Amino acid sequence: MRNFTEQSITEAALERFGTDCDPRLREVMTSFIRHLHDFVRETRITPDEWLKGIQFLTECGEFCDDKRQEFILLSDTLGVSMLVDAIENPGGPGITESTVLGPFFRENPPIVANGGDLAPGIAGKRVDIDCRVSSEDGAPIAGAQIDCWQSSPDGFYDSQMGDGEAHNLRGRLKSEKDGRFWFNTTLPASYPIPDDGPVGNLMRAMGRHCMRPGHLHFWVQAPGHRQVITPLFVRGDKYLESDVVFGVKDTLIVDFGTQQGPRQRVRYDFRLKKAA
């Protein structure tokens, strides 16, 4: 085939798959090519605009290193990460809802004993976190592994402080026999996603802010159950309605108290679906 037109080039591109192409790859790429061609036709993209798009993606790649992942930020801010998560984790009655992992999770966090401090040496209002892990039928889960991580009261993660190497404001806990795990920490603050790169520039060009409401991340894993990755959000935060990554769900908003108020105990029960 040759002499392609604005219309016929799409079918031509779709006919180029070889017979040994993985079926799932064929399915995904067929849809991707169709939508991409329709997007170009619908918006009447000019060569200059297409080149600008390619330069934007190139810049995203150049911003990535072992601490910064610009493509995750792009996916998050366009709502795609939450869409993928919604398909993978549809939840169900009584099951703790999930949201995005975000870019600040780190491997091998410090081990924190129950009752320990997640934010040693960090000034600010303290809160007591008191949680329980249970199965969908309500049975407590002992020995669940829980990773927690959060921003400081100034809105920074440990990887954004000092040389970025020291671990703080994060830890790994285990649930006790009754499913409980507990620790104390500081009140997490709202913060901007890293906005000094191409994604931040895109948000500003779109007239959007880059803020996330204050939250504390949890990754709960237990044998025989589906894992839950989710944050708890600070009730009253002014960015709850406009989280830049679309991660807020009503069931995940809890009372952390205020910066000025008395020390607060945060209670939350994580309910995990049994693995199929």
Applying CB under 5 A, the residues found at the interface with Fe ion are 102
Closest to Fe ion by CB, 102 vs 153, is 102
Give min distance, CB of 217 to Fe ion, in A. Answer: 6
**3-state secondary structure (DSSP) of residue 230:** strand
Nearest approach in angstroms of CB 190 to Fe ion is: 10
State which residue, 102 or 257, has the beta carbon closest to Fe ion.
Answer: 102
Residue with token string 């610009």: 70
Q: At its nearest, how many Å lie between Fe ion and the CB of residue 102? A: 5
Residues forming beta bridges with residue 156, ordered by sequence position: none
Task: Give the residue from 158, 225, 226 showing the smallest Cα distance to 191.
Answer: 158
In degrees and rounded to multiples of 5, residue 252 shows phi and psi of -105, 5
Nearer to Fe ion, 102 or 109 (CB): 102
Beta carbon of residue 100, minimum distance to Fe ion (angstroms, whole number): 9
Using the minimum distance from each CB to Fe ion, give the nearer residue, 61 or 110: 110
List the helix and strand counts (H, then E) for the chain.
6, 11
How do 145-150 and 211-212 pair as beta strands?
Answer: unpaired
Of the candidates 130, 104, 132, the one whose C-alpha atom is nearest the C-alpha of residue 116 is 130
CB of 245 to Fe ion, least distance (A): 9
Calpha distance 256→259 (Å, rounded): 9
Q: Judged by CB, which is closer to Fe ion: 17, or 156?
A: 156
Residues 166-198 as b/e (b if ≥16 CB within 10 A, e otherwise) read: eebbbbebebbeebebbbbbbbbbbbebbbebb
Residue nearest to Fe ion (CB): 102
Nearest to Fe ion of 239, 270 (CB atom): 239
Closest distance of CB 147 from Fe ion, Å: 13
Q: Which DSSP category does 142 fall into? A: T
How many CB atoms lie under 10 A from the CB of residue 48?
Answer: 8
Would you say 102 or 179 has its CB closer to Fe ion?
A: 102
Question: Which residues have a Cβ under 8 Å from the Cβ of 263 and sit 6 or more positions away?
Answer: 125, 126, 127, 128, 257
**Whole-number minimum distance, CB 215 to Fe ion, in Å?**
6
